[in-house]
A and B are shown apart, each in its own frame.
Chain A
Amino acid sequence: MRAADSRAHWAYRAGRTARWCWNRRGIWLRGALFALILLNLAPARQRILPEPPQTVQSAHPILCMHTRLVDEVEDIKIWRTLRMVREMGAPAIVEFFPWAYIQPREGVYDWHHPDRIIRLAQRQGLTVIARLGVVPAWARPDPLRQPTSLNYLPPERYADYAAFVAAFAARYRGVVRHIIPWNEPNLYFEWGFRRVPPEEYAQFLKLVYEAAHAANPDVQILGGALAPTLEPEDGANGMSDLIYLRRLYAAGGGEYFDALAVHTYGFTAPPDDPPAPDRLNFRRYELLLAIMRAFGDGEKPVYITETSWNDHPRWVNAVRPAQRIAYTLQALRYAESAWQNVRQVCFWFFRAPTLYRNYMDGYAFVSVAFRPRPIYEEVQRWARGWEASP
């Protein structure tokens, strides 16, 4: 009796639900049509054919490329870029991971984009040097009270940033070993349009270093990443990298980085141009090394995370394309033979997602359409050890 009642009850409920759905058939049909249109508007997903894990074939593992994958939307472009880096013979890349993208709200992480870049790089056998930066809106002052730039990190938020670096280091433990916590802190623009005291950066570095190492003892914090500049100590746009590094060591900052990240651009000078405090050239790194030695830190590893020559025809700091190739190869040979501390020489930049339409396009090794420029092929010949072949 009770079972029959129950069946009748469920039949009654099912009937009512069916009637309720039928009475709203118009809205369901319109909804389905709308969803169908939306699905058809979405671009088809690109498929990456499965391939076995790759390894980089390189006769000169010092070579490294600075990629620009953070603004890429499609997986296939990320994959193709990384594949070309591998085929070039570069075992490492520097890639930028903006804090603002990964932690859009306090306590909320979205690892989707860094995950896919790092996963695809791993599949190509590439080592990733992660450059972090860009402050999310929630970590900056209210723009109605104090307008600030994307690089403005108030000291009271250093701990939040350190927590982010620690989260990054923990998530990619065993995969990403090198982290550059901030880019070019000696530039007014990069330090959020504030004065650039190295002592403040030393405090920042201490927090980041301790948090990252607590989360992942294997991680290497790459300090510095200073912009090569001739600005004086109280310059309007920043501070000389030489003065900045000296003051950073004097403030005790040397204890809080495992390796030094160096930016050294050749501009119009050849790579053998001798270093001098009043010149910006490739060998300016040797002046930084002298400061490291003066503070007893001369054995620390060094990563040149940005260097290059530019061959844009309308930029005063550019060289001829033939010079760019010759200088790039000379620089690599020189760094490999003469600079014992240097682990990688990373060239700015491999490929951009779109044209800059200015001198920046003269740095690319590969066109937006993935066409290798002659410099790609020449550096590949060197890196893969093909120079002797025709």
Chain B
Amino acid sequence: MRRYPTRNAAFFHALRRLIASLCLAFLFVQGVRYGRYHFRPDLSWERAQARGVLIVGMDTSYAPFAVMRGEDIRGLDVDIALEVARRLGLRLQVAPMGVDGLYDALHVGIVDALISALPFDPFRAHLFVYTRPYLDGGYFLVSRAGRYQTMPDLDGKTLAVEHGSIGDEQARLWRRRLRALTIQHHAEPSAALAAAAAGEADAALVDYLTARAWLRAQGESELRIAAAPIYSEAYHAVLRARDLALASRVNAALEAMWADGSLAAILARWLG
């Protein structure tokens, strides 16, 4: 007895089955590939332990974070990396490179982590993980006795900024929102701080590193940095997203450093 009324019907039935089988085979292969990539065992911590070394990529031309002098590399990021490596029971090896090469070096596995004043980049979050921030290098208000903490406090006041900087950009935005805000432009952020210290401006809006360095250089000053940034740019350690085991340990080390004050001590050593 013939199962199909025509030869055409038999042919199309076979064709449908073939296409369905190919689709299933394709889905299976893709599933296996996906699984091998995403669900493979994370041996990043074991690898680092077996090597005994944590390799950290740094841009060594960016003071005060990392600067190369001869064969010696020093800076805030170096000290943080040293402390992280010590807490993990590993030796630190710094891989010096240009800022443009940092993420590529991490992606291809030349380094285990990056500690190089890197802000969070949402467009890279699918490949990399960012630890808790170790420093916010953004723009902070600096005023006498920390009187001004937020931009609305400056209504009717004078704000000193570095001309053209992000601080200037923020000040111009806030000038549109407040009833009155006089912006005082300076060629350098240190000049903006000096104006605030001399009473020529009510506050200065400058980046955190400059503010700390200037206050340290001045010794005694009435100026205080506000508690929260007006424009945040937090710096993180960065690791590969698939190295979660190592990343969580680096993150835990930074958390511990924050909790016991050793991170603050390192920041104080370099920033004052």
Residues of A within 8 A of B (CB): 311, 314, 316, 320-326, 355, 357-359, 371, 373-375, 377-378
Known contacts A321-B165, A375-B164; 10 additional CB pairs below 8 A are: A314-B99, A320-B162, A321-B163, A321-B164, A322-B163, A325-B164, A355-B123, A357-B121, A373-B169, A378-B164
- Give chain B interface residues in 81-111, CB to chain A under 8 Å: 99-100
Which of B62, B123, B187 lies in contact with A323, CB distance below 8 A? B187
Which of A322, A357, A374, A377 lies in contact with B187, CB distance below 8 A? A322
Q: Tell whether, in the assembled complex, residue A358 and residue B163 are in contact, meaning their CB atoms are under 8 Å apart.
A: no
Complex interface: chain A residues within 8 A of B184 (CB):
none
B42 interface residue (CB < 8 Å to A): no
Which of B59, B121, B168 lies in contact with A374, CB distance below 8 A? B168
Q: Tell whether, in the assembled complex, residue B164 and residue A322 are in contact, meaning their CB atoms are under 8 Å apart.
A: yes
- Give chain B interface residues in 155-201, CB to chain A under 8 Å: 162-165, 168-169, 172, 185-188
Q: How far apart are the CA atoms of A377 and B186 in the complex, in Å?
A: 16
Closest chain B residue to A373 by CB distance? B169
Q: How far apart are the CA atoms of A124 and B89 in the complex, in Å?
A: 64
Residues of B within 8 A of A (CB): 59, 61-62, 99-100, 121, 123, 162-165, 168-169, 172, 185-188
Which of A314, A322, A355, A358 lies in contact with B185, CB distance below 8 A? A322
Q: Tell whether, in the assembled complex, residue A320 and residue B187 are in contact, meaning their CB atoms are under 8 Å apart.
A: yes
Complex interface: chain B residues within 8 A of A371 (CB):
169
- Determine which residue in A324, A358, A374 has the highest number of CB atoms from chain B within 10 A of its CB, and name it: A374
List of 9 A-B pairs having minimum Cβ-Cβ separation, nearest first = A321-B164, A322-B163, A374-B164, A322-B187, A325-B164, A321-B165, A374-B168, A322-B164, A314-B99
Complex interface: chain B residues within 8 A of A324 (CB):
164
Q: Tell whether, in the assembled complex, residue B162 and residue A321 are in contact, meaning their CB atoms are under 8 Å apart.
A: yes
Which of A321, A322, A323, A358 lies in contact with B100, CB distance below 8 A? A358
What's the least CB distance linking A107 to chain B, in Å?
Answer: 38
Closest chain B residue to A375 by CB distance? B164
Q: List 8 A-B contacts (CB under 8 A).
A: A314-B62, A320-B162, A322-B163, A322-B188, A357-B121, A371-B169, A374-B163, A374-B164
What's the least CB distance linking B117 to chain A, in Å?
Answer: 8
What's the least CB distance linking B263 to chain A, in Å?
Answer: 23
Q: Tell whether, in the assembled complex, residue A322 and residue B121 are in contact, meaning their CB atoms are under 8 Å apart.
A: no
Q: How far apart are the CA atoms of A257 and B217 in the complex, in Å?
A: 58
Closest chain B residue to A312 by CB distance? B99
Q: How far apart are the CA atoms of A325 and B163 in the complex, in Å?
A: 8
- Determine which residue in B62, B187, B188 has the highest number of CB atoms from chain A within 10 A of its CB, and name it: B187
Complex interface: chain B residues within 8 A of A321 (CB):
162-165, 168
What's the least CB distance linking A149 to chain B, in Å?
Answer: 20
Q: A374-B163, A377-B172 are known contacts. Are A322 and B62 too (CB-CB below 8 A)? A: no
Complex interface: chain A residues within 8 A of B123 (CB):
355, 357
Q: A320-B188, A322-B188, A358-B100 are known contacts. Are A314 and B59 too (CB-CB below 8 A)? A: yes
Q: How far apart are the CA atoms of A183 and B165 in the complex, in Å?
A: 32
Q: How far apart are the CA atoms of A283 and B187 in the complex, in Å?
A: 23
Q: How far apart are the CA atoms of A321 and B139 in the complex, in Å?
A: 14
Complex interface: chain A residues within 8 A of B62 (CB):
314
Complex interface: chain A residues within 8 A of B187 (CB):
320, 322-323, 326
Q: How far apart are the CA atoms of A374 and B164 in the complex, in Å?
A: 5
Q: How far apart are the CA atoms of A377 and B168 in the complex, in Å?
A: 11
Complex interface: chain B residues within 8 A of A316 (CB):
61
Complex interface: chain A residues within 8 A of B165 (CB):
320-322, 374
What's the least CB distance linking B178 to chain A, in Å?
Answer: 16
